[in-house]
Structure 1
Amino acid sequence: MTGQQPNNPLHGVTLETILTTLVRHYGWAGLCQQINLQCFFNNPSIKSSLKFLRQTPWARQKVEDLYLRLTSSRT
């Protein structure tokens, strides 16, 4: 079981998948309303947002938390 995280709901889900899911659900404007980040407001793209989120742990945490709320409400 080394390396497995059975209790981590994000295990195996990439940041790109998380961001793509959120953009499909909220759109860029809606995502910016949910999490006020410039990378979602000023000329947003998946690539530039991923770069920012990978370098900014607190922002990545907010995105992951929103994804978990969205996916838990769908079940």
Structure 2
Amino acid sequence: MESQPNNPLHGVKLATILEKLEVHYGWDGLADRININCFKSEPSIKSSLKFLRRTPWAREKVERLYLRTDFE
């Protein structure tokens, strides 16, 4: 496995990213910030992970929001 010292997401699982964002913003807040149906229509961690793993552009938006969010 290659070392990625300049990648702030290295070692962070998508599930962890999504869980932290959901706790911080809630599903409605996520839907306001990222306009995708998995956050609007009967949202769940499981269904959102399935969609984000198959949809690179949506995953990129979620990762960017995670990096911009101050969780403190």
Using the size of structure 1 for normalisation, the TM-score is: 0.91
The structure where helix makes up a greater share of residues is: 1
In the alignment, is the contact (CA less than 8 A) between 2:24 and 2:71 conserved in 1? no
2:48 equivalent to 1:36: no
Q: What is the total number of aligned residue pairs between the two structures?
A: 72
SS of the residue 1:43 aligns to: coil
1:42-72 Cα shifts (integer Å, max 9, x gaps)? 00000000000000000000000000001xx
Q: Percent identity?
A: 65
* Matching of residues 10-49 of structure 1 within 5 Å: 10-49=9-48
Runs of 4 or more, structure 1, over 4 Å off, are none
Read off the aligned partner of 1:13 and give its amino acid letter.
V
| Distance in 2 between residues matched to 1:66 and 1:49, nearest whole Å | 15
Read off the aligned partner of 2:8 and give its amino acid letter.
P
Q: Could you list the runs of 5+ residues in structure 2 that have no partner in the other structure?
A: none
Q: Could you list the runs of 5+ residues in structure 1 that have no partner in the other structure?
A: none
SS of the residue 2:38 aligns to: helix
RMSD, matched Cα: 1.3
| Distance in 2 between residues matched to 1:65 and 1:16, nearest whole Å | 15
* Matching of residues 42-57 of structure 1 within 5 Å: 42-57=41-56
